[in-house]
């Protein structure tokens, strides 16, 4: 425990929803819920306006709609969230070399290690300056906690929400913690909280009064000793700048169970490609390929295959994932698929051909998650296709087969032109998810408010503008195209309506 509150914890306020409100001027001050919009979607983040209706993270989206029927329901835009997070993390690293990110919107900072604060006054000034810098760089607010330990700094930032700063002076920890709920302490979830409540312990002060021996008897030696130390405000964990990733994975939850084996294989191939992109972005390769399948009855299977050396080659990962899928019975239907890579390294195996031939299967059942999971699918259904397979094109609806333009041309040259179909299939209807970015050739940048019955409604506005006008178009309007997000702060691109 430090004698000065020089450990800082930053937690951005309702991060995803706040980014959406900053990006979409017409939503400022209104209830915004970000998450999956399908029947199996869950809430990723709710704005403070939506929380007043009882909406919270991890709630089923159907329940959220019943509680807050007039809220704005939007898909997540993780690419934009990562861009904003990079700006915030860069500001933290200007303060200290010891920055420990916990997620896109949360991190610990050791202010002493950066030489920017050694006492309460310096810590408070640094925290206030950080909040102002974040506001100027992103237009968003963050809450700051300052204390002599990581646990207390996190408690302080939670108490400071929204858009506040709380400094816990060393020596006042027990007095501050005593009236708080036991659920305030890290690691005390619903089950442990209920177990303690039945024993008559509901506050941190009561936890401390119970004593270590009683807590060990109630919840076990390791957990009991840890609870007692936290109740006393004791935590000597250091801020760790680099946290080694154990695995990289992606997964998608589908609105409707998949039964078509060809479709399932296609989804696994796309997940493998997405996983490799994340693997390369992190600067890693891996030697164990993991397939996750959650079936119609919620039973979850994992299969893994260990290669002779690490790889970041998409073809190798696709082949391994396809082999693993062959050993899984999917006849009853599949609600979730995931592909992951573990056994990470920062180099790749040169003999990729040998890798794919000499795999060592080590499949196992039962695991239900892998570290570093990208849950964009869980939030937004299949989410369509986010990149074309390197061998050809992918059906933009998210479920079509991969085709090779070169192979089609070669077949046509060998066998003559294909007979024209008497009734050619119509092009698939373009899908516009609520909240996604678009650009119109005449009206400029905007975002999708909703779509249906062959029409899409777009509000034309951008960060920093006044609330924009709404216009409706055919879903196949050639002048309307998907677009990249505009920056929250800065000039942006294009003109408004």
209 is catalytic: no
Q: Beta strands 106-110 and 7-12: pairing type?
A: antiparallel
Distances (CA, A) of 17 to 50, 81, 195: 10, 10, 34
Give Cα 355 distance to the centre of its chain.
Answer: 31
Q: Beta strands 72-74 and 32-35: pairing type?
A: parallel
205 sits in which H/E element: helix 204-210
Q: How far apart are CA 243 and CA 101, in angstroms?
A: 9
DSSP, collapsed to helix, strand or coil, labels residue 438 as strand
- Distinct helix (H) and strand (E) counts, the chain: 17, 20
Long-range CB pairs of 297-302, under 8 A, 24+ apart, other chains included? 297/332, 298/335, 300/336, 300/366, 300/367, 300/368, 301/328, 301/365, 301/366, 302/363, 302/364, 302/365, 302/366, 302/367, 302/368
Long-range CB pairs of 108-114, under 8 A, 24+ apart, other chains included? 108/7, 108/8, 108/9, 108/150, 108/153, 108/154, 108/239, 109/7, 109/8, 109/9, 109/10, 109/239, 110/6, 110/7, 110/238, 110/239, 111/6, 111/7, 111/8, 112/2, 112/4, 112/6, 113/239
> Quick one: tokens of 384?
């369509």
Q: How far apart are CA 99 and CA 86, in angstroms?
A: 13
DSSP, collapsed to helix, strand or coil, labels residue 7 as strand
User: How many of the other CB atoms lie within 10 Å of CB of 468?
Assistant: 21
Q: HSE, CB side, 13 Å, CA atoms: give it for residue 339.
A: 29
| Marked catalytic residue, from 20, 106, 173, 267 | 106
Nearest to 114 by CA among 130, 134, 138: 130
Q: How far apart are CA 80 and CA 250, in angstroms?
A: 18
481 sits in which H/E element: strand 480-482
The three-point CA angle 217-223-229 to 5° equals 100
| Active centre residues (catalytic) | 106
């Amino acid at each position: 425990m430090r004698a000065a509150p020089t450990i800082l914890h930053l937690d951005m306020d309702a991060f995803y929803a706040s980014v959406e409100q900053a990006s979409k001027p017409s939503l400022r001050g209104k209830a915004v819920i970000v998450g999956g919009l399908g029947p199996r979607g869950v809430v990723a983040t709710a704005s403070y306006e939506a929380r007043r209706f009882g909406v919270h993270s991890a709630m089923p989206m159907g329940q959220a709609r019943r509680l807050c029927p007039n809220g704005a329901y939007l898909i997540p835009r993780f690419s934009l969230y990562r861009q904003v997070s990079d700006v915030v993390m860069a500001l933290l690293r200007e303060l200290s070399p010891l920055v420990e990110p916990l997620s896109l919107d949360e991190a610990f900072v050791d202010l002493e290690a950066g030489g920017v604060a050694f006492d309460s006054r310096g810590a408070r000034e640094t925290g206030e300056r950080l909040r102002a810098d974040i506001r100027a760089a992103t237009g968003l607010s963050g809450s700051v906690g300052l204390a002599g330990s990581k646990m207390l700094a996190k408690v302080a930032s939670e108490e400071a929400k929204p858009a506040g700063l709380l400094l816990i002076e060393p020596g006042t920890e027990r007095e501050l913690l005593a009236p708080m709920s036991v659920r305030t302490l890290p690691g005390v979830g619903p089950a442990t909280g209920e177990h303690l409540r039945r024993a008559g312990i509901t506050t941190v002060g009561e936890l401390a009064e119970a004593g270590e021996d009683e807590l060990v008897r109630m919840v076990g030696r390791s957990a009991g000793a840890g609870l007692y130390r936290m109740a006393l405000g004791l935590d000597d964990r250091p801020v760790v700048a680099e946290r080694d990733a154990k695995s990289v994975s992606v997964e998608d939850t589908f609105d409707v169970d998949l039964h078509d084996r060809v479709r399932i294989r296609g989804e696994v191939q796309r997940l493998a490609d997405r996983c490799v992109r994340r693997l390369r972005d992190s600067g890693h390769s891996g030697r164990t390929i993991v397939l996750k399948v959650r079936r119609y009855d919620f039973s979850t299977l994992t299969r893994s295959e260990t290669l002779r050396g690490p790889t970041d080659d998409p073809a190798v990962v696709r082949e391994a994932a396809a082999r693993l899928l062959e050993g899984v019975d999917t006849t009853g239907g599949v609600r979730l698929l995931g592909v992951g890579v573990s056994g990470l390294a920062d180099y790749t195996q040169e003999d990729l051909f040998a890798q794919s031939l000499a795999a060592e299967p080590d499949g196992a059942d039962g695991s239900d998650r892998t570290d570093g999971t990208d849950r964009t699918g869980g939030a937004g259904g299949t989410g369509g296709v986010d990149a074309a397979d390197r061998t050809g094109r992918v059906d933009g609806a998210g479920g079509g087969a991969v085709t090779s333009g070169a192979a089609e041309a070669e077949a046509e040259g060998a066998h003559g032109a294909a007979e024209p179909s008497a009734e050619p299939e119509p092009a698939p209807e373009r899908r516009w998810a609520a909240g996604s970015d678009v650009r119109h050739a005449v009206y400029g940048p905007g975002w999708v408010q909703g779509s249906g019955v062959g029409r899409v409604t777009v509000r034309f506005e951008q960060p920093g503008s006044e609330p924009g006008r709404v216009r409706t178009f055919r879903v196949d309007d050639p002048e309307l195209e998907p677009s990249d997000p505009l920056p929250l702060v800065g000039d942006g691109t294009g003109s408004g309506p």
